[in-house]
Chain A
């Protein structure tokens, strides 16, 4: 089954404790992206990757890191989490970037992160 998977789905942690949220897709997509969703603020893009070893900042990259060493995986790293990073995180992938015909962006199920 074609899908985007995220792990963990739920995480409660404490300020300053490094964590990684994994994202994996099995569709051989070139494009992957991370978003955070907060009430009343919609989705805000954190980082995106057009292909392996190519990553760029979205609108809210501060406090996050990503890597794209292989096509299927795009982990999100919080080196020193803070309470303002408590949010619902979505990973997404598509064959190419969003502006291509016959090219839909698939979203993962989300990771709910709480930083105490």
Chain B
């Protein structure tokens, strides 16, 4: 079984400030990890993913995430946010032994204030 915990349901931040959205996972096997973004009234879009190799993963829109196996975490970061980053962000995990099955976290709403 696998699970995902997004530690913050809402994160308010001012424009141009740095932000970190936290994600912890649990799985009995090795996993793939993903971050998705959902803008209001839209579907989800992949931000970045960790499959293997370097633990620091860079994605679209200036986001990056670091896979920490010992802490079972995959936190998402951006050094300077924009108003347009206001959205809901989802962390997701798939087991390497059953990559078709995906488990998502409950989501973190990022609100960027001017």
Contacts and interface: CB of A to CB of B under 8 A. Distances in A.
A33 B105 contact: no
Given A99-B32, A101-B51, A45 B102 contact: yes
A88 to B, nearest CB: 10
Given A42-B90, A42-B106, A48 B101 contact: yes
Contact residues on A (Cβ < 8 Å of other chain), bracket: 20 to 34
Contact of B94 (A40, A41, A99): A99
A31 B6 CA distance: 26
Nearest to A41: B106
Interface string B14-57: 00000000000000000010100000001111100101000000
Contact of B44 (A40, A43, A97): A43
Interface string B91-105: 010101001111111
Interface of B: 6, 9, 32, 34, 42-46, 49, 51, 90, 92, 94, 96, 99-107
Given A48-B100, A56-B101, A92-B44, 8 more contacts: A43-B44, A43-B92, A45-B101, A48-B101, A50-B100, A59-B103, A104-B46, A107-B44
Interface of A: 31, 33, 35, 40-45, 48-50, 56, 58-59, 90, 92, 97-101, 104-105, 107-110
